Amino acid sequence: MENPDTFYDGSKRIKSEIKKENQRLFMRRLLANKSLLIGGIILIIIGLIAILGPSFLSNTPYQIFAEERLSAPSREFIFGTDNMGRDLLSRVIFGARVSLFVGLMASGVTALVGLMVGLYASYYRFLDHILMRICDGLMAFPAILLALAIMAALGANALNVIVALSIVMIPTVARVIRSAALVVQEQTFIEAIKAQGAGSFRVIWVHIAPNVLSHLIIQATYVFAISIIIEASLSFMGVGIPAPDPSWGNIIYEGKIHITRAWWMTLFPGAFILSTVIALNLFGDGLRDFLDPYTIN
């Protein structure tokens, strides 16, 4: 009785019922995972605002209403206007596009390079020493300080923000992937695959990489969240996304000196940063539980 199929070998009807049952179980696990659900919903809403929002706007983020400078939220300007008389709602929504784009790109580049560095460091001992010492060096600096230095060297624009963020984040991801990959490599199937005559490239990319993918996805969501914060911080310090392009960070930066008179310039972009970062962290935590088979009860 070593064939589990004996239970399944009934008619096609039973098979489709089992499939349905599996789908039900999947949905139940998904719904039971509150943080994944809440985080995911908030992210979808913010994503939709960033993508679809601009088509509902009557004002562009650059249009200046000189007489309406620093006016409080009203029916005409729902989020109020900034110190130059630009529609804050429009700027925050376009800022969402910039911030999310930068965050997404940074986490994508970080995940890709981090995966590569982590995998090769775990596979080749001599590369391990070199790559991990470089990572140690990069991690010795506070993230913001390092990003600031890189931005100062490269100059302020969106592309350089992505580059700076990636350099800052790669070491963390690389280390997580390296340790996960080391665990995978200790398993017999890697030795078995080598015994089948597989080359190192196949072992690394076809057999180790898919087994560390869940770690990578989870790390990518955290990197996304931190990227948004660091990008906002850089813009706040004036080395991030240059004016007049809006980003959440530089809107807050411009609102800083008017905070006593125009709280809305700080509150609305701040609220967006906060909710996005919380949602990403919730989503990452939820994803970790969801992808880890040991948390199934």
Partner 1 sequence: MVLEHEHLLEVRALHTTFYTEKGRVKAVEDVSFYVDRGEMVGLVGESGCGKSVTCESIMQLHNRRITEIKGEIFFESQDLLKLKKQQMRNIRGRSISMIFQDPMSSLNPVYTIGDQIVEAIKTHRKIEKNEAMRQAVELLSMTEISSPEEVAKKYPHQLSGGMRQRVLIAIALACQPRLLIADEPTTALDVTIQSQILDLLVQFKKTLDMGIILITHDLGVVAEVCSRVIVMYAGEIVEEGTVESIFTKPLHPYTRGLLLAMPQIQGDRNCKLKVIKGVVPSLFNLPRGCRFAPRCDYSTQICAEKHPELTALDSGQMVRCWHYQKLLKEARINDSICDASARG
Task: Provide the minimum distance between the beta carbon of 184 and partner 1 in the complex, in angstroms, as a whole number.
Answer: 9
- Which of 21, 76, 191, 292 touches partner 1 by CB under 8 A? 191
Residue 205 touches partner 1, criterion: CB under 8 A: no
Binding string to partner 1 for residues 124 to 153, with x set by CB under 8 A, is what?
-x----------------------------
Query: Residue 108 half-sphere exposure, CB side, CA atoms within 13 Å?
Result: 7
Structure tokens that stand for 140 in this block: 């010795």
Residues 46 to 75: which contact partner 1 by CB under 8 A?
A: none
Tokens for 154?
């490269």
CA dist 179 to 19, 128, 205, Å? Answer: 35, 11, 16
**201 lies in the binding site for partner 1 (CB under 8 A):** no
Residue type present at position 262? A
User: Among 30-38, 81-89, 207-215, 239-247, which window interacts with partner 1 (CB under 8 A)?
Assistant: 207-215
From CA 166, how far away is CA 231, in angstroms rounded? 11
For residue 182, the tally of other CB atoms under 10 A from its CB is 16
If one asks whether residue 2 binds partner 1 (CB under 8 A), the answer comes out as yes
Q: With contact defined as beta carbons under 8 Å apart, do 183 and 125 qualify? A: no
11 binds partner 1 (CB under 8 A): no
- Cβ neighbours of residue 194 closer than 8 Å, sequence gap 6 or more: 203
Give the tokens for residue 170.
């790669």
Distance, in Å, from the CA atom of 75 to the CA atom of 90, rounded to the nearest integer, reads 14
Contact region with partner 1 (CB under 8 A), list: 183-191, 218-226, 233-241, 250-258: 183-191
Listed ranges 89-97, 181-189, 219-227, 239-247: which one lies at the site for partner 1 (CB under 8 A): 181-189
Member of 11, 58, 153, 199 binding partner 1 (CB under 8 A):
199
Nearer to partner 1, 12 or 125 (CB): 125
Verify binding: residue 195, partner 1, rule CB under 8 A. Answer: yes
| Using rule CB under 8 A, residue 155 touches partner 1 | no
CA 110 to CA 130: how far, in whole Å? Answer: 19
**283, 291, 293: which is closest to 221 by C-alpha?**
283
**Does residue 211 interact with partner 1 by CB under 8 A?**
yes
We find the least distance from the C-beta atom of residue 219 to partner 1, in angstroms, to be 18
Stated length of the chain: 297
Give whichever of 153 and 199 is closer to partner 1, judged by the CB atom.
199
- Interface residue with partner 1 among 11, 55, 58, 196 (CB under 8 A) is 196
- Give yes or no for a contact between 241 and 253, defined as CB atoms under 8 angstroms apart: no
Q: How many CB atoms are closer than 10 A to CB 198?
A: 15
- Minimal distance, residue 256 CB to partner 1, in Å: 49
Regarding 192 and contact with partner 1 (CB under 8 A), the answer is yes
Quick one: 111 or 282, whose CB is closer to partner 1?
111
Do 102 and 222 touch, CB atoms closer than 8 A? no
Residues near partner 1 (CB under 8 A): 2-5, 9, 125, 187-189, 191-199, 206-207, 210-211
